[in-house]
Amino acid sequence: MESHVNEVLAALRDPMGVPLYPVVFQLLMVLTFALHILFVNFVVGGLLISLWGRFRRAERWQRLSATTARIATVSVSFAVLIGVAPLLFVQVIYDPFWYTSNLLSAAWVVGFVFLMIAAYSASYRYYLRHHRGAARTAFWGLIALAGFLLAGFVIHALNYQALLPDAWLGWASTEGGADTRGTTLHAWQWARYLHVILASPVLTGLLLVASAWYFRNRGDRDPEYLAWVAKLGLHLAFGFGVISVGTGLWWSAVIPGKLGFHADPFYLVAIVLGVALVGYLWAVRKDPLRHAVPAGVAGLVVVLAMAAARESLRSDYVGQFGYSIFDYPVNLDWGSTALFFLTFLWGFIAIGYLLTVAYRSGRAEGEVDLSGTGMRTFGNLAIASLVAWIGVVVGLGAYVTYQHVAPALAAPTDAAATAPAMGAGPATATAPAAATAPAAADHPKAVMCAGCHGADGNSPTPDNPTLAGQHREYLIVAIESYRDGRRTHAPMQALVSGLGGQDVVELAGLYCLQPVKPVGYAEKLPGDRNAAETHSCAGCHGNRGVSSSPRTPKLAALSGTYLTSALQAYREGTRTHGLMRALAAPRSDDEIAHLAAFYAVSAPRE
Amino acid sequence: MYPTWEVPALTAGGVIGLIAAFHILPSHLSVSAMWFNVFLENRAYRQNRPELIEYIKKYTRTLLIFSYVLGSLTGVGIWFSATVASPRGISGLIHTYVWAWATEWVFFVIEVIGIFVYYYTFGKVDRRTHLRIGIVFAVASWVTMIIIVGILAFMLTPGKFNETGSFFDGFFNPTYFPQLFTRTGFMFAISATFAMAVASRLKDEETREEITRLAAKWGIAGLLVGSVMLVPWAATLPAATAYKAGLAGLVPGTVLYGSVAVAVLMLVYFVWALRTPGAITTATAVLAIFILFTGILGGERIREMLRKPYVIAGYMYSNQVIAHGVASRGVEPEVEAMSRDGFLKHVALVPPALQPISDGNRVAVGRFLAEQQCSACHALGDTGLRPLARMVRRLRLADVERTDGYLTGLGHYDFMPSFVGNDAERHALAAYLVELGKGATALAAKH
């Protein structure tokens, strides 16, 4: 069983490989996940505190409730923004796990997006109504909280399901076949989910302490209120910190012992740091403002340690099935790696500028003048850095494009041949029938064709197909199929046996270049596009019988009589081609005649 | 191959299509709206017009909520829906372009911080600083487009990527620049449409008309630039793809001409607004947004059709089978191996009831294969996107032998991959299709 799972996982891994050593993606994933979950905690914690405050009479609670509503709402933006990064990196190094788990609960995955939109909208509504002092705002806050909690639960389940590959087949199967509805969440772990959710008031509490510290020097803020906020924040952090230690122990109790996680140094460090944080909060509870910054930093460190332990736990889970991110095939790509890391560093100029403006404008009341030389230069530098980035990258783009276009420009006659064929096989362009096309009759073997198909490839009778203007490749295919007996027609078979390979190529090349001429005989039926029901023909033979694929014949302007006999031959099975036989078999004589007539009167073939 | 997600009628691909088409509104709005804002804010300061600032605040709030709630979440939504509709497709893109997305993300960070700082520092910082914040946002926002267009254009025209496997060869591919400029033009038409909707809420008539006229001018310019840039875009499409644009009924006439009609209609709307700005009510402006959306939906549909039979041109078919390898990255094509070993050998989670193929489970195996190989583009029932049951009936594939023959020749269509699998699997799919053609009830009874 396990070896089967190992094979499945190995087969699912993306064959493109990764552009840099997997450990780099793992590190970035853990770092960005820690930041993401921090903001997730602010969302949940902010809404919890805000709703609690909404139902309290005291004016300060109302004030705090409005502030935390805003914190929660703004934090959603950052949670989503930062969440994109670990979502990207998990797909790089754990793609088999992430994709399979998503597929098995696909409806929830898409539902998650709509749930988030609904919850985020409710959150905005709550926050904006709150600031306008509207009554009954709590309703929208509760909707938002419920939505975010459920959305978080979905993501939790997807991540947990990903760790259980030996259960996947059971989830994917029904009694008689496959379950492709994706409407079931298959596995979750309450302890793990609650451990993350109940940490929300801890981190949001620390954020409150930090914000009280930030506003401490602003004259328009009531120091008594700030002191109260700081104290409340610290008490929340401590109280829920104790609870979080409990949920953390509960989680570690349900982690299977065989994973060996309980002796994992990452796990032990995370536990020690978590408990130490709670102890530290207890110790500084009397004077939170003085310890605001170290407490905030300590909170961040604990989140990072937890994120690292979580990743270590994942590698233990997947290791059971012989999966290690370090085996991922690496196709080193220094160019794009440099693009990212340089951009990342470069981006700090603009990010630094924005954050500095935000930080400095918030610390004082009223309008802050940041027009001094320092900030002005900083701002101009931020803009210049972005413009320079565009210059470099677009310049690189222009250079690469020029490299690709240059050969085509240098040899304009070859342009058609070198046009990218999208890997779809041979180039599909057929040379247009030039007025100066060499006469087919000049070829020494042309006399073998001319009798029935006309000296210039325009057939004199409706019984024989016109060769003029046909795809060269198709003419070759047709001759080959007479030669090997797939098409049977005694005169043709006899004649082609006298043609060498070189003759075939040359004759096809000549006839395809001959212009199509108006026919000298009358067509029997008027072409009727609707009656002809040509949709299923058009896929291969093209719009109005001009096919794009060089191996598929153009039908336009072939005679109705010839087309009728060809379709009948497919129907009777004397011409063998699975698809054509399947399509022709159910057609009546009448329908075949209509189809043939439609193409017979269709426009010429170029 | 991963498991599949079957969405009745709409298909999983249709789910991405809808989310992705919708995402264009907020994302392109985000990229262009701030240019309009900065232009107007500059005018407000020069002419000392506080009423313009009031408008800019309103427009920014629309941007903040529309683009940074709906925009960012539908953006994530494209990834999530692609994950469940085409995991190997999105995985292939991510494993090639992870650093492009990560780079784009850096600019997302600048955007999100920027929009909040811009919105919350009105009147909190001096004017020139506030303008600088707007410019930082506007430029960073356009960079996100510069990046994502590389990946989008790659999916249609991979350029030299398949030969060299080089990131930049695929990224700066033949349709890259035309598409960048097309989108850059059209994004101004989108922000102009929204700007007029926000302006219609203003009470002061003079300001309303001034802004409406300005927006109409931006809209006309954007529409013209975007449309003109479609010409070089179409010219750089490979011959085989360009041909498909006009291919018999492949892009339905309603979609093709409908999209053109929307562009014309929008032009008429902008000209009308320019001449009689007072006539634009909120209802009209919102209707215009809806009409614009139908045009975007049509345009995206055409882009998707042009890519057929691939999800990533020249690399992976719509049904996620790797059509052509990328030798420089050690990627092998799969069609041959899957036909040789049997397709099911390459599917990760094949339910036990479907192995081995027997008389008892043949139709069920066929259904499983249809889910794997057809359902990316075809609804399996009678209704919805390119419904298989109806096609089977139209082609009158009533017996297994002929249907099997039809499947053998499937690769001859320009826009559809061939069937991939061994003979027994092809028979199974044929058996299922014949049952499907008989009607949903007959099939349900067997299931």
DSSP B311-367: EETTTEETTS-B-S-BGGGTBPP-HHHHHHH-GGGG-S---GGGSS--TTTHHHHHH
Cα(B276)–Cα(B148) distance, integer angstroms: 37
B49 with B196, same domain: the answer is: yes
The H or E element containing residue A372 is none
For residues B424 and B365, what is the distance between their CA atoms, to the nearest angstrom? 10
Query: Which of the four pLDDT bands, split at 50, 70 and 90, describes residue A436?
Result: low
Q: Do residue A587 and residue A576 come from a single domain?
A: yes
Q: Is A357 in Cβ contact with B167 (below 8 Å)? A: no
- Same domain membership, residue A338 and residue A323: no
Chain A residues closer than 8 Å to B174 by CB: 401, 404, 420
B128 vs A contacts (CB less than 8 Å) = 371, 376, 379
Percent of chain A with pLDDT over 90: 60
Report the distance separating Cα A18 and Cα A16, nearest Å: 7
pLDDT tens-place string over residues B4-63:
999 998 999 999 999 999 999 999 999 999 999 999 999 999 999 999 999 999 999 999
Comparing CA positions, the residue from B336, B326, B423, B420 lying closest to residue B376 is B420
Find out whether the peptide bond into B252 is cis, omega within 30 degrees of 0: no
Q: In terms of domains, do B282 and B399 share one?
A: no
Task: Answer for the pair A454, A520: CB distance below 8 angstroms, yes or no.
Answer: no
Q: Which of residues 331-360 of B touch A (CB under 8 A)?
A: 331-332, 346, 348-354
Residues B89 and B202 in one domain: yes
Give the Cα separation of A142 and A6 in Å (integer): 44
pTM score, two decimals? 0.88
Residue B352 forms part of a structural domain: yes
Chains A and B form CB pairs within 8 A to the count of 397
**């010839």: which residue's tokens?**
A562
Least Cα distance to A13 among B251, B159, B88 occurs for: B88
Answer yes or no: is A123 within a domain: yes
The SS3 assignment for B162 reads helix
- Looking at the structure, tell me whether residues A21 and A88 fall in a common domain: yes
- How many C-beta atoms surround the C-beta of residue B195 within 10 A? 29
A420 vs B107: CB contact, 8 Å cut-off? no
Whether residue A550 sits in one domain with residue A464 = yes
Domain limits for position B417: 327-446
Residues B335, B279 share a domain: no
What pLDDT score does A575 carry? 86
Q: B292 and B163: one domain?
A: yes
Residue A414 confidence class, pLDDT cut points 50, 70, 90: very low
Residues B342 and B423 in one domain: yes
Q: Does residue B17 sit in the same domain as residue B132?
A: yes
**pLDDT given for residue B441 in this prediction:** 52
Residues B284 and B398 in one domain: no
Q: How far is A375 from chain B (nearest CA, A)?
A: 8
**pLDDT of B268-279, one tens digit each?**
999 999 999 999
Nearest alpha carbon to residue A455 among A444, A465, A447: A447
Q: How many domains does one find in chain B? A: 2
Pick the range with the lowest mean pLDDT from A249-258, A550-559, B77-86, B414-423: A550-559
In the DSSP assignment, the letter for residue A515 is P
Q: Which helix (H) or strand (E) holds B310?
A: strand B310-312
Mean per-residue pLDDT, A140-150: 97
- Of the listed ranges A38-42, A150-154, A369-373, A592-596, the least confidently predicted one is A592-596
Q: In this complex, is the C-beta atom of A1 within 8 Å of any C-beta atom belonging to chain B?
A: no
**Alpha carbon distance B224, B142 (integer Å):** 19
Kindly state whether B404 is in contact with chain A, defined as any CB-CB distance less than 8 angstroms: yes
Enumerate the H helices of A454-534 as residue ranges. 472-483, 490-496, 501-511, 529-532
**Please, are residues A248 and A271 in contact by the beta-carbon 8 Å criterion?**
yes
Residue A482 to residue A486: CA distance in whole angstroms:
6
Where residue A483 falls (left for φ over 0; alpha for ψ -120 to 50; beta otherwise) is alpha
| A298-314 confidence digits (pLDDT tens) | 999 999 999 999 999 99
- The residue with tokens 């427009």 is B59
- The Cβ-side half-sphere exposure at A45, using a 13 Å CA radius, reads 27
CB atoms within 10 A of CB B360: 10
Q: Look up the domain containing A230 and give its range.
A: 2-174+187-332
Is the pLDDT at A564 greater than 60? The verdict is: yes
**Is residue B2, in this structure, part of any structural domain at all?**
no
Q: Do B126 and A369 touch (CB under 8 A)?
A: yes
Give bridge partners of residue A330 from the DSSP assignment: A18
Which residue of chain B comes nearest to A553, CA vs CA? B412
List, as ranges, residues 153-212 from B with C-beta within 8 Å of A: 157-160, 162, 165-169, 171-172, 174, 176-177
Q: Is residue A6 part of a domain?
A: yes
Number of domains making up chain A: 3
Question: Can you tell me whether residue A473 is helix, strand or coil?
Answer: helix
pLDDT higher than threshold 50 for residue B66:
yes
Task: Inform me whether the pLDDT recorded for A427 exceeds 50.
Answer: no
> Is the pLDDT assigned to residue A429 strictly greater than 70?
no
Asked if B264 reaches chain A (Cβ–Cβ under 8 Å), the answer is no
- CATH number of the domain where residue A501 is located: 1.10.760.10
CA neighbor of A168 nearest in space, from A4, A22, A352, A315: A4
CA nearest neighbour of A111 among A182, A172, A40:
A182
Question: pLDDT value at position A431?
Answer: 41
Contact A180 B310 (CB under 8 A): no
By Cβ distance, the residue of A84, A393, A581 closest to B146 is A393
pLDDT of residue A461: 82
Q: Can you tell me the ipTM of this complex? A: 0.94
Look at residue B319 and tell me if it is in a domain: no
Percent of chain A with pLDDT over 70: 91
CA B434 vs. chain centroid, Å, equals 33
Whether the per-residue pLDDT at A187 is higher than 60: the answer is yes
- For residue A434, what pLDDT band results from cuts at 50, 70 and 90? very low
Token couple for B78: 């494209």
Q: How far is A369 from chain B (nearest CA, A)?
A: 5
pLDDT of A500 > 90? The answer is: no
What is the per-residue pLDDT across A228-267, written as a single tens digit (0 to 9) for each? 999 999 999 999 999 999 999 999 999 999 999 999 999 9
Query: Are A100 and B15 in contact (CB < 8 Å)?
Result: no
Residues 276-305 of A with CB under 8 A from B: none
Residue B89 sits in the same domain as residue B198: yes
Among B96, B168, B352, the residue with its CB nearest the CB of A396 is: B168
CA distances from A355 to A209, A348, A532 (A): 20, 10, 68
d(CA A48, CA A201): 8
Chosen for mutation from A387, A579, A581, A591 (greatest number of chain B CBs closer than 10 Å) is A579
Instruction: Tell how far CA B205 is from the center of its chain.
Output: 38
Cβ-defined contact of B248 to A543 (cutoff 8 Å): yes
Residues 6+ away with beta carbon under 8 Å from A328: A13, A17, A18, A22, A93
Same domain, A268 and A140: yes
Whether residue A293 is contained in a domain is answered as yes
pLDDT tens for B178-214 read: 999 999 999 999 999 999 999 999 999 999 999 999 9
Name the more confident of B405 and A416.
B405
Question: Cβ separation of A578 and B409 shorter than 8 Å?
Answer: yes
* Token pair belonging to B398: 């009533």
Q: Which residues pair with B322 in a beta bridge?
A: B316
Indicate if A399 and A496 belong to the same structural domain.
no
Average pLDDT of the residues of chain A: 88
**Closest chain B C-alpha to A263 CA, distance in angstroms:** 33
- Residue A83, chain B, CB below 8 Å: the answer is yes
Instruction: Note whether A244 and A221 are same-domain residues.
Output: yes
Residue for token digits 């893109």?
Answer: B93
User: Is residue B369, in this structure, part of any structural domain at all?
Assistant: yes
Q: Smallest Cβ distance to B124: which of A368, A382, A398?
A: A368
Please check the confidence at residue A424 and state whether its pLDDT lies above 60: no
> Is the same domain home to B215 and B151?
yes
Work out the minimum CA distance from B12 to partner chain A, whole angstroms: 10
Distance from C-alpha of A377 to C-alpha of A380, rounded to nearest angstrom? 5
Task: Locate A306 and state its tokens.
Answer: 């937890």
Give me the residue from B6, B125, B238 closest to A370, CB to CB.
Answer: B125
Q: How far away is chain A from the Cα of B431, in angstroms, using its nearest Cα?
A: 14
Q: What is the pLDDT of residues B345-374, one digit of tens each?
A: 999 999 999 999 999 999 999 999 999 999
Residue B251 has pLDDT above 50, yes or no: yes
CB contact (8 A) between residue A539 and residue B102: no
Is A21 a residue whose pLDDT tops 90?
yes
Q: Are residues A11 and A108 both part of a single domain? A: yes
- B99: closest CA of chain A, how far (Å): 6
Query: What is the CB neighbour count within 10 angstroms for residue A188?
Result: 16
How many helices (H) does chain B have, and how many strands (E)? 18, 2
Percent of chain B whose pLDDT exceeds 70: 95
Q: DSSP letter string over B17-38?
A: HHHHHHHHHHHHHHHHHHHHHH
List the 91-120 stretch of A: residues with Cβ below 8 A of B. Answer: 91-92, 95-96, 98-100, 102-104, 106-107, 109-110, 112-113, 116-117, 120
Alpha-carbon gap, residue B291 to A353, rounded angstroms: 39
Q: Which residues of B touch A109 (CB under 8 A)?
A: 80-81, 83-84
Model confidence at A426, pLDDT cuts 50, 70, 90, reads very low
Cβ(A400)–Cβ(B153) under 8 Å? no
Taking the C-alpha atoms of residue A375 and residue A369, their distance in angstroms, rounded to an integer, is 10
The confidence score (pLDDT) of residue A375 equals: 94
- Best A422, A430, A577, A595 member to test B by mutation, with max B CBs in 10 Å, is A422
- At residue A218 the predicted structure's pLDDT band, cuts being 50, 70 and 90, is confident
Q: Tell me the pLDDT band of A479, cut-offs 50, 70 and 90.
A: confident
| H or E element in which residue A51 lies | helix A22-54
Q: Which of B96, B126, B447 sits opposite A367 (nearest CB)?
A: B126
Q: Is A574 part of a structural domain of the chain?
A: yes
Interface of A with B in 307-366 (CB under 8 A): 329, 331, 333, 335-337, 339-340, 343-344, 347, 350-351, 353-355, 357-358, 361-362, 366
Highest mean pLDDT among A29-38, A405-414, B44-53, B336-345: A29-38
CA distances from A189 to A160, A246, B250 (A): 8, 15, 48
Q: Are residues A302 and A351 in the same domain?
A: no
CB contact under 8 A, B414 and A539: yes
Residues B201 and B156 in one domain: yes
Q: Long-range contacts: A427-432, Cβ < 8 Å, 24+? A: A427/B239, A428/A548, A428/A549, A428/A550, A428/B239, A428/B240, A428/B243, A429/B239, A430/A471, A430/A472, A430/A512, A430/A550, A431/A512, A431/A513, A432/A606
Q: Which of A81, A100, A420 sits opposite B109 (nearest CB)?
A: A81
Residue A25 main-chain phi, psi, to 5 deg: -65, -35
Which position has the higher pLDDT, A144 or B384? A144
Considering only CB atoms, which chain A residues are within 8 Å of B396?
Answer: 585-586
pLDDT at A603: 65
CB contact under 8 A, B406 and A583: yes
C-alpha to C-alpha distance for A228 and B201, rounded to whole angstroms: 42
C-alpha A119: how far from chain center = 23
Closest-CA residue to A142 (of A111, A119, A108): A119
Asked if residues A168 and A100 have their Cβ atoms less than 8 Å apart, the reply is: yes
Closest CA to B250 of B177, B200, B305: B305
Best to test chain A binding among B34, B72, B111, B156 (most A CBs inside 10 Å): B72
Inter-chain residue contact A84 with B76, CB threshold 8 Å? yes
Q: Are residues A392 and A458 in the same domain?
A: no
Asked if A415 and A482 sit in the same domain, the reply is no
**CB-based contacts of B317: which residues, under 8 Å, 6+ apart?**
B309, B310, B311, B323, B417
Of A388, A419, A450, which residue sits at a domain end? A419
R_g over Cα of chain A: 37
Please report the pLDDT score of residue A492 as a whole number. 86
My answer on whether B401 and B296 are in the same domain is: no
The domain that contains B127 carries what CATH number?
1.20.1630
Across the interface, do B176 and A401 touch by the CB < 8 Å criterion? yes
Nearest to A34 by CA among A295, A326, A299, A266: A299
The amino acid present at A141, given as its one-letter code, is G
pLDDT in tens, B134-166: 999 999 999 999 999 999 999 999 988 988 888
| Owner of token pair 């639960």 | A153
Statement: residue A157 has pLDDT above 50: yes
Which residue among A393, A543, A580 sits closest to B409, beta carbon to beta carbon?
A580
Q: What is the pLDDT of residue A351?
A: 97
Statement to judge: residues A264 and A399 lie in one domain = no
